[in-house]
Amino acid sequence: MNYTTQMDAARKGIITNEMKIVAEKENIDKEILRKLLAEGKVVIPANKNHKSLSPEGIGEGLRTKINVNLGVSKDCKSFEKEMKKVKVALEMKVESIMDLSSYGKTSEFRKNLIDMSPAMIGTVPVYDAVGFYDKELSDITVDEFFDVVEKHAEDGVDFVTIHAGLNRETIEVFKRNKRITNIVSRGGSLMYAWMELNNAENPFFEHYDRLLDICEKYDLTLSLGDACRPGSINDSTDACQIKELMILGELTLRAWRRNVQVMIEGPGHMALNEIAANMILEKRLCHGAPFYVLGPIVTDVAPGYDHITSAIGGAVAAANGADFLCYVTPAEHLRLPSLEDMKEGIIASKIAAHAADIAKKVNGAREWDNEMSKARQELNWEKMFNLAMDPEKARRYRKESLPEHEDSCTMCGKMCSMRNMNKIMNGKNINILREDN
């Protein structure tokens, strides 16, 4: 039986090869996964032209996935440095990379990335439009916007961020309700500017069916962007954010009628006590579609540490229903991330995702922690390193400060609780002050 997209296959009762791989990775029954795909509660972003892909599922009942943003910019245009980041990110087993390149040989970078990456690849085509056509934003035509989307799809991109919910109606709500930071979404601000300069409707909203044609042709997953995401905790959960979310819910239903897979993008900066309610709102207004969040960043006053502010918010968000976390690095708001910034951002996001998976009772999540706890009780350092989320750092810290006794560390020495409890429970003397063991 033929099918156009993963959702189309699921609705026809077909279990695709991609579904089989995801079911095995997630330790979930294939038929349960197929049903969730058919309902739109899970997506498997898998462009027909991405031949190196190792598919991943995003959504209800599955592990929380993380995304890494990479790409060249005008101020930092080293193709080689960004490609080195790609290789390290893949070594760290990230599930997704978004190529946010906005300058130079974007097509070459994107094609190389797709050719080598088993991780799913996402893009924001509007970033690429200015450089691709070498035209000012206001001069780009509707056809040219859609041609860029199709070019990315043809290259093999698995999902695209499209800010289709920022229509004239949303803009009017935005104008009536003042914010401190206005529109902070880069793609959203570009689309807002184009609409204002041309006194026109958002082409991706006005010609949404044309966008769905492209998505259906390549099985391109639509990541409906949050142009009105809050860029400060003052602006969160306001009128325009919710207005846009309502429109995204309507666009989700239209996409599903065409068997197009959909994710919804979300905040942004947000006070800790608002996060759980925002997750409920998204799932309700967008009919259970997977939720992809940036952060949320829970305070605005920690530049240089926003991987931490984001991990705090990300753990709360994912524990309350978010399915996909976009990493944030220490360089957020300050510069293009370095390789080390990227690594710190990945680890912080992985910690947040895993903490949430424990709370959500995802298959196998708690077992990993239990294995680490057993290794600690046994004082089995090698096993601890192998189980660690970042084995390299754990080994380095141990090596940099070796204890007198192997069955302890330089924090507690012979007062180590694990060491002494093991001895006492085996009927031995703990000998804290004497030189013998």
Residues making up the binding site: 69, 98, 127, 163, 185-187, 226-229, 265, 269, 292, 333, 409, 412, 416
**Token output for 234:** 């003052």
Please report, in range form, the residues annotated as the binding site for [4Fe-4S] cluster. Answer: 409, 412, 416
User: Tokens for 187?
Assistant: 């793609």
CA distances from 125 to 143, 159, 270, 355, 411 (A): 13, 10, 27, 33, 51
Token pair in block for residue 129: 């439009």
267: left (phi over 0), alpha (psi -120 to 50) or beta: beta
CA angle 289, 290, 294 (to 5 degrees): 130
**Nearest one of 82, 8, 80 to 44, comparing CA atoms:** 8
Under DSSP, is residue 269 helix (H, G, I), strand (E, B) or coil?
Answer: strand
Residue 104: is it exposed, middle or buried by C-beta count within 10 angstroms (0-12/13-18/19+)? middle
Q: Is 362 helix (H, G, I), strand (E, B) or coil?
A: coil
Torsion of CA 28, 248, 252, 291, to 10 degrees: -10
Residues placed in the known binding site for Zn(2+): 269, 333
HSE of 88, CA atoms in CB hemisphere, 13 A = 20
| Closest listed residue to residue 102, CA positions, set 190, 31, 214 | 190
- Supply φ then ψ for residue 335, to 5 degrees: -170, 175
3-state secondary structure of 270: coil
- C-beta neighbour count of 324 within 10 angstroms: 28
Asked whether 6 and 255 are in contact (CB, 8 A), the reply is no
Binding site residue list for substrate: 69, 98, 127, 163, 185-187, 226-229, 265, 292
Smallest Cα–Cα separation from 96: which of 410, 346, 340? 346
| Token couple for 171 | 């803009």
